[in-house]
Structures are given as structure tokens and as C-alpha cells.
């Protein structure tokens, strides 16, 4: 009898789950892969396309290059899961039955309920979004002067926010147009969760590029041309607002029919990546993966990759009545770009806290290349090398 495993999402977690299933499975396993686009977007490099939309071909890998011929891919938006009937519901009304399900649909950007953010800001989650950001910045710069520059405000100074700000500054330098870039972060420094020496380096690279950094400034409201910070005491005018905030579960995660964490709306998964439904596993940003009491795996591509491989193997273990594996996240290090500069920190096995310059850039490219080779091919990785 054939067992059907359905994987939802073509991000790091979805790709890793599918390739691991393909590597480990036998003939009696049918793999169905569903995602809203027929390509894998390297989300952790998507900010590169703000500077130059031509980079899109390096950050989007067709699923056909990733999956085996025997894996069936269906392009479609998932709107819910009927866990009683074990069926995935798609936007076009189609239902896809499963025996096991791996949910890897990523996350939405959290607006923390701040009035006006959802209505006026761009999120950096798709190529459509970065294309619009690129075009709007160019349009704003067209009507600007050195006395009255175009104003781009980036909300959030975490990993996404600082990389986005670096790319906007790079675009400004390429266009040689008057564009002011400001990062607004509510906590006391950029990269609030990062290593202190990396924080200092990122801050220096941003300020060297003329990016204004406002920390300790919580955004309380946004309207169509201002961001209000410090309880409304300060108004920042903007032409383009990019919101990186934090992450939250997608609306669709509420319709998956498994337990979620109340505040973030992300699906709750144990260390074995199982949800409260034995046949449903959840991985990547979509899931809050337990790592001990009140500790969870971070929302990073690295964690998505590692957890998804374990989830895929656990589906097979369950099928074979074997004990399930646990996923224990070990941070292998972080690589952050600020335009053409790179800050790499906490890399396991290296005696330096922070690596920058050519060594940092090469290391960051190597990390991206390793991922691309693992899901696609060396040729694709070589082609993308210069854009990472």
C-alpha cells in the first residue's frame, strides 16, 4: 500500500523536507509538494533584489530543478487543512488527501497591531514586494532634490531590517540620487538579538553608508506620509516605508486545525516536530519548535533546514514504527550583509567573534552556495555566487 506524504511550502523547510524524503524513501511512498509559486525563493537573500531586480534569477530556483521526477508538484495556495478527513484545502477548491503532512508555509510579517502599518508599509517577503519597493524608491527619487531628498524609512533593525537598509543605501549610490535612509528600532540597538561585536560592526557599516539609525524609538502609528515614534512625540516623514518588524503565523495557519501559540499564531511543534495531531508535522518559520522549557528554535533558514530534515525522517520513522528523532538546534553562526559589506559572527569552529571584509563575504557566499548545492546543483550555485 502506498503512503502519501504532502509537503506544504517551497521555502528552506519545504525544500529540505522534500529532498530528505526523496533521499530516504522507498517505492511505497508518494510525495506531493504544494506551494503557491513554482519556485524556491531564497528569502534570506531577497533583499538583494531591492538594489537590482536582475538578481531575481539568482534568488529564485524553479522547483523542477529541485525535486525528483517522481515527486508531484502542485502550484496552489493552501487555505486550510481538514485534519479529520486528512485533506489539504486549496484556494481553487481542490482537496488533496494525505497520510502525513509537513507544514512549511513560513510566516507573515508581524505588524504588532500598530495602526497603519499593514495599510501603508511594504513587507519584504516576496519578489513582487521587492520589485514594488525598487520602483517606488526610484519614483520618489525622481521627484526629489538634494534639498528635499526622497525618504525611505525601514521599520525594525533586526536581521532583515539592517540588510534591507544596506540594500536601499546601495541602490541610492547606484542611482546617484538624493535618498535619505532611516532605520527605526524600538529596542536599544540594531540586531537586538545579535552578538555585541556584530551589532557594533553592523551599526558602523550602516552609518558609514549614511544610514540614520534611531534606536529606542517604538513606532506607535503610521499614516500615509508619516511614521509616529516615541508615543507620537516625533514624526518621521516618509515616501517609502518598509516594515520588517518580527514574524507571526500566516492567516492560513489558523485553518490547519492544530494547536498554535496564542501570541504569535505560529503552529506549536515538539522537539520531534510533531504537532498535537500525530499525522501533522510543522517546521520552519511556520512553527514554534520546542527546545526545552520556554525555549524555541530561532526563525532562521538554518533552523528551518535542520528541523525539516528531522521532520521528514520522523515521518518515515513513524511509518516504520521506529522511535522519532529530536531536533536540537545548534547555531552554526550568522552572516549578515550591509550592502556589499558582510558581518559574520559566532561561527562554530572559528576563533574569531566577527569576520568582515573579503573573508566575511566569501564565507557568506559559501553558506548560500552550500544550500543551493544541497537542493539544486553546483552550476546553479556558481551562477548565483556573485549575487550573494
Ligand X SMILES: Cc1cc2nc3c(=O)[nH]c(=O)nc-3n(C[C@H](O)[C@H](O)[C@H](O)COP(=O)(O)OP(=O)(O)OC[C@H]3O[C@@H](n4cnc5c(N)ncnc54)[C@H](O)[C@@H]3O)c2cc1C
**Residue-wise burial string across 64-99, b where 16 or more C-beta atoms lie within 10 A, e elsewhere:** eebbeeebebeebebebbebeebbbbbeeeeebebb
Which residue in 263, 311, 302 sits closest to 283, CA to CA? 311
Q: Rounded to an integer, what distance in angstroms lies between the CA atom of residue 366 and that of residue 210?
A: 28
In the complex, what is the shortest distance from the CB of residue 239 to ligand X, in angstroms, rounded to a whole number? 20
CB nearer to ligand X: pick between 337 and 380: 337
CB nearer to ligand X: pick between 271 and 301: 301
Instruction: Give bridge partners of residue 282 from the DSSP assignment.
Output: 103
The binder of ligand X chosen from 25, 81, 105, 240 (CB under 6 A) = 105
Q: For 91, phi and psi rounded to 5 degrees?
A: -60, -35
Is residue 290 close enough to count as binding ligand X by CB under 6 A?
no
CB nearer to ligand X: pick between 141 and 343: 343
Residues 112-151, mask of contacts with ligand X (x by CB under 6 A): ------------xx--------------------------
In the complex, what is the shortest distance from the CB of residue 379 to ligand X, in angstroms, rounded to a whole number? 22
156 Cβ neighbours under 8 A, 6+ residues apart: 183, 184, 185, 243, 244, 245, 246
Is residue 7 close enough to count as binding ligand X by CB under 6 A?
no
Footprint of ligand X on residues 16-35 (CB under 6 A)?
35
The binder of ligand X chosen from 20, 170, 285, 387 (CB under 6 A) = 285
Would you call 338 helix, strand, or coil by DSSP? strand
From 80-88, 104-112, 289-297, 350-358, span contacting ligand X (CB under 6 A): 104-112
CB nearer to ligand X: pick between 44 and 313: 44
Is residue 376 close enough to count as binding ligand X by CB under 6 A?
no
Is residue 301 close enough to count as binding ligand X by CB under 6 A?
yes
Question: Which DSSP string corresponds to 154-174?
Answer: EE--SHHHHHHHHHHHHHHHH
Is residue 75 close enough to count as binding ligand X by CB under 6 A?
no
- Residue whose entry in the numeric block shows the C-alpha cell 504569535: 264
In the complex, what is the shortest distance from the CB of residue 295 to ligand X, in angstroms, rounded to a whole number? 17
In the complex, what is the shortest distance from the CB of residue 74 to ligand X, in angstroms, rounded to a whole number? 10
In this structure, the dihedral spanned by the alpha carbons of residues 368, 332, 293 and 80, taken in order and rounded to 10 degrees, is 10
233 Cβ neighbours under 8 A, 6+ residues apart: none
CB nearer to ligand X: pick between 47 and 260: 47
What residues make contact with ligand X under the rule CB under 6 A? 8-14, 35-37, 43-44, 46-47, 77-78, 104-106, 124-125, 159-160, 163-164, 250, 252, 284-286, 299-302, 304, 336
Amino acid at each position: 500500500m502506498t503512503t502519501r506524504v504532502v509537503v506544504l511550502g517551497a521555502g528552506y523547510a519545504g525544500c529540505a523536507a522534500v529532498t530528505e524524503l526523496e533521499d530516504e524513501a522507498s517505492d511505497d511512498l508518494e510525495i506531493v509538494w504544494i506551494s503557491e509559486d513554482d519556485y524556491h525563493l531564497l528569502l534570506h537573500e531577497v533583499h538583494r533584489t531591492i538594489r537590482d531586480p536582475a538578481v531575481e534569477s539568482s534568488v529564485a530556483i524553479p522547483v523542477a530543478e529541485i525535486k525528483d521526477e517522481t515527486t508531484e508538484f502542485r502550484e496552489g495556495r493552501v487555505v486550510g487543512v481538514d485534519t479529520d478527513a486528512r485533506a489539504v484545502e486549496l484556494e481553487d477548491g481542490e482537496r488533496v488527501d494525505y497520510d502525513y503532512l509537513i507544514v512549511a508555509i513560513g510566516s507573515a510579517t508581524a505588524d504588532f497591531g500598530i495602526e497603519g502599518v499593514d495599510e501603508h508599509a511594504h513587507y519584504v517577503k516576496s519578489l513582487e514586494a521587492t520589485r514594488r519597493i525598487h520602483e517606488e524608491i526610484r519614483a520618489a527619487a525622481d521627484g526629489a532634490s538634494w534639498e528635499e531628498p526622497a525618504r525611505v524609512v525601514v521599520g525594525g533593525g533586526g536581521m532583515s531590517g539592517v540588510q534591507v537598509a544596506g540594500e536601499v543605501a546601495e541602490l541610492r549610490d547606484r542611482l546617484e540620487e538624493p535618498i535619505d535612509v532611516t532605520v527605526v528600532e524600538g529596542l536599544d540597538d540594531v540586531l537586538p538579538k545579535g552578538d555585541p561585536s556584530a551589532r557594533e560592526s553592523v551599526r558602523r557599516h550602516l552609518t558609514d553608508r549614511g544610514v540614520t539609525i534611531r534606536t529606542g524609538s517604538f513606532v506607535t502609528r503610521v499614516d500615509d506620509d508619516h511614521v509616529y515614534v516615541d508615543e507620537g512625540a516625533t514624526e518621521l516623514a516618509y515616501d517609502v516605508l518598509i516594515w520588517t518588524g518580527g514574524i507571526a503565523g500566516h492567516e492560513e495557519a489558523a485553518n490547519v486545525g492544530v494547536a498554535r501559540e496564542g501570541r504569535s499564531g505560529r503552529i506549536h511543534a515538539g522537539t520531534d516536530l510533531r504537532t498535537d495531531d500525530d499525522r501533522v508535522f510543522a517546521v520552519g518559520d511556520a512553527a514554534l519548535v520546542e527546545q526545552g522549557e520556554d525555549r524555541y528554535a530561532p526563525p532562521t533558514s538554518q533552523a528551518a533546514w535542520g528541523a525539516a530534515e528531522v521532520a521528514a525522517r520522523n515521518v518515515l520513522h513513524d511509518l516504520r514504527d521506529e522511535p522519532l528523532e529530536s531536533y536540537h538546534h545548534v547555531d552554526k553562526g550568522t552572516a549578515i550583509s550591509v550592502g556589499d559589506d558582510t558581518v559574520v559572527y559566532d561561527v562554530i569552529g572559528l576563533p574569531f567573534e566577527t569576520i568582515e571584509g573579503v573573508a566575511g563575504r566569501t564565507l557568506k557566499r559559501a553558506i548560500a552556495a552550500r544550500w543551493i548545492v544541497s537542493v539544486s546543483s553546483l552550476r546553479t550555485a556558481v551562477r548565483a555566487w556573485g549575487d550573494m
